């Protein structure tokens, strides 16, 4: 091979490093550690098996996997054959898995489970004729989290994945001496690109954790040696801080140099807790599956409390627009649009939805509200559909959530609107460290915000409904209104 890895697809990352650094560790999981040379051999062996079954370029193959060596090898092997991957999380029920597999019209299914003896290929009777799909260069179908409805199949091409992987590696300064800790699901966009591909494209190693457990992650960071990079979602970092606080000792890692957070909004209060207990600034980013997925990232020079979600990756353009489509100046809110090499090829089997989401000039309508500061950094305000209009004023749930999260009595919260006569009410759902502290929390909150932003209902809950990626499913929270609820007029 011998090519510069920056000019090759992710299917060739491993082959390149197998030639240049054959004995260097590539992937470590709970069971074993393999070098780049051994990983390349396994990827080649499985790709040959797939091709011998008549599958390859133009085929779609579902990869159903847990976090581990088998899933990583399966992904790389499918790509080496030229086929496209439809990623399916093994934590879904069997019925949910089959619905996605049927929807993607795959010709084969690779089930990756160490408990069941490794990787098994199952061929399917399908009307798919082996010809390339409408978007023939699609390499990956990602099923979106579906916090508000049925999942959609996002089609990404090899150049989308390459751009994001190399952009992440460059922004984070990842190189062969690094080791990324993969606690995020590899079957999710964040774990696949920011962790696995972002590391492998730069010749770094990846230590895969089968399942996130705070005690196990802390032990791995402190005792495994050599882990330099860790990415997670806010709930992961909150649980890590809880565990470290319970043992009354901060994280002790001599090698960890960077921690990053994504997947859902990051509160300043959590940034402070992480800095106290993990001892590093918690950096953030913004993305969505339709954008490859990474759009913006903070870097080592940014203050995580004030930098928002950072600057766009090189080559990515941002625009904040009014409802009429006019570009908004710096510091003014609007809907976020993005354009760049990471933008998807389209939604699988949904050309009309694709046209509604990506315009003729390549601008992706994100559905998120935000504003760009004078330095070009993006600051998010929430989902456009979640914006609350109360008494004629725009209310952004993220603003209220950030204030509530700063309260030491609060473990987690979410804010959303609900119909209230001819107006909209503001519901605050909150998980408390002390259930008797709600009145004090509300008193402190209402002293800090304008009257029209104050919640009209507060609901104590024990847990938040989330997707497999850790995002709160806000529509399901409305079903819980009425339980342990108080009216807020007295505040």
Query: Does position 287 have pLDDT exceeding 70, yes or no?
Result: yes
Query: Does position 127 have pLDDT exceeding 50, yes or no?
Result: no
Domains of the chain (ranges; CATH) run 5-372 (3.40.50.12780), 387-487 (3.30.300.30)
Q: pLDDT confidence of 3, banded at 50, 70, 90?
A: very low
Q: pLDDT confidence of 485, banded at 50, 70, 90?
A: low
pLDDT averaged over every residue in the chain: 89
Residue 175 has a CB neighbour count (10 Å cut-off) of 12
User: 301 φ, ψ to 5°?
Assistant: -90, -10
Instruction: Give residue 472's pLDDT.
Output: 86
- CA 100/CA 96 separation, integer angstroms: 7
Reported as type and span, the H/E element at residue 446 is helix 438-446
User: Taking a C-beta distance cutoff of 8 angstroms, is the pair 137, 129 a contact?
Assistant: no
Instruction: Give residue 134's pLDDT.
Output: 39
Query: Does position 85 have pLDDT exceeding 80, yes or no?
Result: yes
Instruction: Give residue 104's pLDDT.
Output: 94
Bigger pLDDT: 484 or 261?
261
Residue 149 has a CB neighbour count (10 Å cut-off) of 8
Q: pLDDT confidence of 131, banded at 50, 70, 90?
A: very low
Q: pLDDT confidence of 265, banded at 50, 70, 90?
A: confident
In the structure encoding, which two tokens stand for residue 17, read together?
A: 């490093």
Please enumerate in sequence order all residues whose Cβ is within 8 A of that of 435, keeping only pairs 6 or more positions apart, or say none.
460
**Beta strands, E only, 8-92:** 25-28, 33-35, 60-65, 84-89
The pLDDT tens digits for 313-338 are: 999 999 999 999 999 999 999 999 99
Instruction: Give residue 473's pLDDT.
Output: 87
Average pLDDT, integer, range 162-173: 95
In the structure encoding, which two tokens stand for residue 487, read together?
A: 């009216």
Average pLDDT, integer, range 349-359: 95
Lowest mean pLDDT among 72-81, 153-162, 212-221, 461-470: 461-470
Average pLDDT, integer, range 302-320: 90
Query: Does position 428 have pLDDT exceeding 50, yes or no?
Result: yes
Q: Which of 344-348, 393-397, 433-437 has the highest mean pLDDT?
A: 344-348
pTM of the model: 0.85
User: Taking a C-beta distance cutoff of 8 angstroms, is the pair 440, 302 a contact?
Assistant: no
The residue whose two tokens read 């190399």 is: 166
Instruction: Give residue 137's pLDDT.
Output: 63
Instruction: Give residue 301's pLDDT.
Output: 75
Query: Does position 383 have pLDDT exceeding 80, yes or no?
Result: yes
- CA 334/CA 322 separation, integer angstroms: 5
Strands across the sheet containing 334-339: 317-321, 334-339, 364-372, 378-383
Bigger pLDDT: 248 or 423?
248
Instruction: Give residue 479's pLDDT.
Output: 84
Average pLDDT, integer, range 13-33: 95
Average pLDDT, integer, range 445-455: 92
Average pLDDT, integer, range 457-477: 86
Q: pLDDT confidence of 392, banded at 50, 70, 90?
A: confident
Instruction: Give residue 6's pLDDT.
Output: 34
Average pLDDT, integer, range 87-115: 89
Average pLDDT, integer, range 393-401: 90
């Amino acid at each position: 091979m011998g090519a510069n890895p920056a000019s090759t697809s992710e299917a060739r990352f491993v082959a390149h490093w197998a030639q240049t650094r054959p004995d260097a560790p590539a992937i470590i999981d709970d069971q074993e550690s393999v070098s780049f040379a051994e990983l390349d051999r396994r990827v080649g062996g499985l790709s040959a098996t797939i091709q011998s079954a008549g599958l390859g370029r133009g085929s779609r193959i579902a990869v159903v996997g847990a976090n581990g060596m088998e899933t990583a090898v399966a992904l790389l092997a499918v790509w080496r054959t030229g086929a496209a991957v439809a990623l399916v999380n093994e934590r879904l029920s069997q019925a949910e898995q089959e619905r996605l597999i049927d929807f993607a019209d795959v010709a084969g299914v690779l089930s990756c489970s160490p408990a069941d003896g490794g990787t098994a290929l199952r061929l399917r009777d399908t009307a798919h004729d082996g010809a390339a799909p409408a978007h023939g260069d699609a390499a990956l179908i990602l099923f979106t989290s579906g916090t508000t409805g049925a999942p959609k199949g996002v089609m990404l091409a090899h150049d989308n994945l390459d751009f994001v992987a190399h952009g992440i590696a460059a922004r984070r300064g990842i190189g062969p001496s690094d080791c990324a800790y993969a606690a995020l699901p590899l079957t999710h966009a964040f774990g696949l690109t920011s962790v696995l591909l972002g590391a492998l494209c730069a010749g770094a190693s990846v230590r895969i954790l089968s399942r996130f457990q705070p005690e196990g992650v802390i032990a791995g960071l402190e005792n495994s040696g050599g882990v330099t990079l860790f990415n997670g979602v806010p709930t992961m970092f909150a649980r890590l801080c809880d565990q470290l606080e319970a043992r009354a000792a901060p994280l002790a890692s001599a090698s960890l140099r960077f921690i990053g957070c994504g997947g859902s909004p990051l509160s300043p209060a959590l940034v402070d807790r992480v800095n106290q207990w993990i001892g590093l600034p918690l950096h953030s980013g913004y993305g969505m599956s339709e954008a490859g997925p990474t759009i913006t990232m903070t870097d080592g020079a940014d203050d995580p409390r004030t930098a928002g979600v950072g600057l766009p990756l090189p080559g990515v353009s941002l625009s904040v627009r009014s409802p009429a489509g006019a570009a908004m100046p710096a510091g003014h809110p609007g809907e976020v649009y993005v354009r760049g090499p990471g933008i998807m090829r389209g939604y699988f089997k949904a050309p009309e939805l694709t046209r509604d989401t990506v315009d003729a000039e390549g601008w992706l309508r994100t559905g998120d509200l935000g504003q760009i500061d004078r330095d070009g950094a993006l600051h998010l305000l929430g989902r456009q559909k979640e914006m609350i209009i109360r008494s004629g004023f725009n209310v952004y749930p993220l603003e209220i959530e950030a204030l509530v999260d700063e309260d030491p009595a609060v473990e987690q919260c979410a804010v959303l609107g609900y119909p209230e006569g001819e107006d909209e009410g503001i519901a605050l759902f909150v998980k408390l460290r002390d259930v008797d502290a709600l009145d004090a929390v509300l008193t402190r909150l209402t002293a800090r915000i304008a009257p029209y932003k104050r919640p009209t209902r507060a609901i104590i809950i024990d847990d938040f409904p989330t997707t497999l990626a850790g995002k709160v499913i806000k529509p399901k929270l409305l079903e819980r209104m009425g339980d342990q609820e108080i009216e807020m007029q007295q505040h």
